[in-house]
Amino acid sequence: MKILFILNDPPYGTERCYNGLRLANALVKKDPATEVTIFLMADAVSCGRRGQKTPDGYYNLERMLKRFTSGAHKLLLCGTCMDARGLTEAELIDGARRSSMDELAASTIEVDKVLVF
């Protein structure tokens, strides 16, 4: 099965990205053959920023995404959204890649399910 997650909210302040990543990692753990793509857009592109510092005991989306990208899954970030927030490719975590609306459209057509957070 192929699943696409589209995350929109900022990394902290709401828990939508956190919960989307929890589900993505749970799906990968439950069925390693599942192909999962995460597309970060709008304020969610900040989830892919390297060097996030959070208080002890608080979730850290950078660590969660590193766990996700250690497999054969895709982590894509909207290039237009990155530009609007001044985020460069050099600031991204390993395994993350700048993408486009065209690639999101193609991914949406290819997958079996799309989940939006």
Q: What is the DSSP string of the chain?
A: -EEEEEE-S-SSSSSHHHHHHHHHHHHHHH-TT-EEEEEE-GGGGGGGBSS----TTS--HHHHHHHHHTSS-EEEEEHHHHHHTT--GGGBPTTEEEE-HHHHHHHHHH-SEEEE-
> How many domains does the chain fold into?
1
Q: pLDDT tens digit string along 44-65?
A: 999 999 999 999 989 999 999 9
* pLDDT (0 to 100) of residue 70: 78
CATH number at residue 23: 3.40.1260.10
Domain that holds residue 106: 2-116
pTM attached to this predicted model: 0.94
